[in-house]
Structure 1
């Protein structure tokens, strides 16, 4: 069996899918994407395909080594994301050839279902409350929200109070049985973290995510030491080597992205490394169905798995929904607050290829917004 063809598809609202076909007709799917840089990643996938065409798809670890280390210049989000999607597709093929879901190839399941959470915004307190109520009606018991909009470098009183009031509104709706993760998106820094963490502690968030930008991960240990709130980070870290310092700094939750951090192969290794530091895994996934299925396969196989993000029904999917691209929507049923163990071969889902090709004909050119402070300088989005 050899890899015969590799295709990529630009899928609204902001995704990229890859299809890897063998000469025996077995097809694997992956999701190699950097949001806002899909065309660039598409080119990277095309270049990496030169290393895979004609090769045995089941030599997954060897392919991972060659794709990540076969060039003198390595790493970074573009290359790592291209590798991630191709790695997912190779694992999908391996599972289909074996007639087993990927988590069985990783050693078998350690749990029967995975708790999931959805995103609910983070603007006005009333809007947050309404969005959380909708999610609770869907069956979720946990949500994640933005802590704020644009924040000044040293925030004023109104901005700081706004963060606390939003989280307080969330806690009021969730009561003492639901959980809320609070995502700062790197919009605050160490100084504002010192002021905000004590105010947020009585509201007991499930975690605080990315209080500093990943470039300043050397500071995150100081934040972890100052608060009882679990600190989470990792959606913009791409390897074990990048995760190691934040594990050593004392974070509680690692959030590698299966479409950015080297795919199933590397995230499985990241999870093992995290376990040494008593860090739980909660993969980042505001993406499509293939990325979500890949995350779930990891979740069923690793012991230190905490919770899974999903983007079903997320606000930005106005022209493309996760469930639009799978044949059986019940695979991702979360009405109990959990997704049950996927048992179909490979990634555990069947991709609707007709829907994918139709969506690719429409394509997209999504770009992240550019924010600015009141003085006109660049602000973190």
Structure 2
């Protein structure tokens, strides 16, 4: 097991390579941005008992990784589990000469539709970006909230009205057919999120993503009673147990599961099945590199209840650089606003190991935001 915490584009990625004594190997990725070294250390612990095991026993290995410690779950452990799980699926697919989705029940769709995000702050530039994305084929867009670019001070009440005003303007400019949502990155309270929703007429937004933190499902249930906008929640989930109250209480309509955080493909498929039973569509979180994208494409191909996959490779976000062609010479590429489902073995990603071995790790911190009174708030 080899771990590579490396700077790719504007932030780090943690890649994992699992090798076998038969010469077959697989690549995985962890989804805990900003805390890659913590996950890397966990993978060193896992290595002590994984080496020597049969890599085809993916489900059993998942259970051993999860249950064979007193403190189950949590984001660091589950991000490490996810990296192992994805690498094992890649490895097994290569060994059998099959794409990963064949190991998940087979392909249910030929293409994977995506949603793209604007990167400009709310204003005319944001609407122009949205128009450009529609011209490039996107029918589902995620808008930017006011204040998202702040690096030090963030006061939600100073931005809610402006964001709502530009969401209305975007709907008027783009028409009724484009799916529009916004990601508040869990920066709001229930009262602030309700105020934001109430400043727009019904039908302005098709989804509201992560308006508040997901630690307390009852808080989301309270917000659910205050607005009719569908919720897109789940990028913070690390397991089926995190998803249970949201699914079973019918709180959200789109599940934003991240295969690189929620225990990999093994666990994501279980979350998808539970969601299907409640008519919740999967809308995977995909903010990392090509391995995360590829794993998410195979997941999207294999589940029936799928809406859109997040892409950060649209013309509005090319500055991010997460998909460096030198490091990932073979990787999924957008075809307009879709990813075509691959038919090669494994995930369909190749990594230039010489480059990642020499690549530099640089500490990266998300902005540490505070309010004007000096207290700490969410990024």
Say yes or no: TM over 0.5: yes
Residues 83, 351 of structure 1: alpha-carbon distance in 2 compared, 3 angstrom cutoff: same
- The SS at the match of 2:83 is helix
**Selected match of 1:57 from 36, 55, 58:** 55
State the SS of the aligned residue for 1:200: coil
How many Å separate the matches in 1 of 2:67 and 2:339? 35
Q: Relative to structure 1, is the Cα distance of residues 310 and 154 closer, same or farther in structure 2, using a 3 angstrom cutoff?
A: closer
**Is 1:282 equivalent to 2:283 in the alignment?**
yes
Deviation at 1:190, TM superposition (A): 1.4
Deviation at 1:14, TM superposition (A): 1.9
CA 1:324–1:167: 2 relative to 1, 3 Å: farther
Shift in Å, 1:277: 1.3
Matched length: 372
State the 1:193 CA deviation: 2.5
Indicate the SS of the match to 1:10. strand
Deviations 1:284-334 (A, max 9, x none): 1111000111111111001011110022257595565354533235x3223
Tell me, which stretches of 5 or more residues in structure 2 are unaligned? none
TM-score under structure 1 length normalisation = 0.90
Partner SS, residue 215 of structure 2: helix
Matched residue SS, 2:200 = helix
- Residue 186 of structure 1 corresponds to 186
Specify the alignment match of 2:329 in structure 1.
327
Q: Could you tell me how far 1:29 is from its partner in structure 2? A: 0.4
Whole-Å separation in 2 of the counterparts to 1:128 and 1:242? 34
Paired with 1:142 and 1:225, the residues of 2 have a C-alpha distance of 25
Q: How does 1:142-221 map to 2 (within 5 A)?
A: 142-149=140-147, 156=157, 158-221=158-221
Q: Quick check: 346-355 or 64-73, which moved more?
A: 346-355
Residue 311 of structure 1 corresponds to: 312
Give per-residue Cα distances to partners, 1:117-158, cap 9 Å, x unaligned: 1221362312312332343344322222333327999954x5
User: SS state of the match for residue 15, structure 1?
Assistant: strand
> Is the contact made by 2:78 and 2:263 (CA closer than 8 Å) also made in structure 1?
yes
Aligned to 1:378: 376
Offset of 1:340 from its aligned partner? 1.2
Partner of 1:369: 367
* CA distance in structure 2 between the aligned counterparts of 1:133 and 1:291, rounded to whole angstroms: 28
TM-score, length basis structure 2: 0.91
Q: Is the 8 A contact 1:114 1:341 kept in 2?
A: yes
Structure 1: runs of 5+ lacking an equivalent:
none
Q: 89, 93, 96: which is aligned to 1:95?
A: 93
Q: Aligned equivalents of 1:174 and 1:357: distance in 2? A: 46
Judge conservation of contact 1:258–1:267 (CA < 8 Å) in 2: yes
Q: CA offset at residue 27 of structure 1?
A: 1.4
Contact kept, 8 Å, 1:293 with 1:349, in 2: the verdict is: yes
Deviations 1:341-361 (A, max 9, x none): 111111133333344334xx2
Q: Which residue of 1 aligns with 2:240?
A: 240
CA shift, 1:203, in A, is 4.6
Distance in 1 between the 2:334 and 2:154 partners?
41
Counterpart check, 1:291 vs 2:292: yes
| CA gap 1:171/1:7 in 2 versus in 1, 3 angstroms | same
| Alignment of 1:105 onto 2:103 | yes
Counterpart contact for 1:28–1:93, Cα < 8 Å: yes
Note the 1:110-121 alignment, pairs <5 A: 110-121=108-119
Higher helix share: 1
- State how far apart, in whole Å, the 2-side matches of 1:300 and 1:31 are: 19
Give 1:21 shift: 1.0
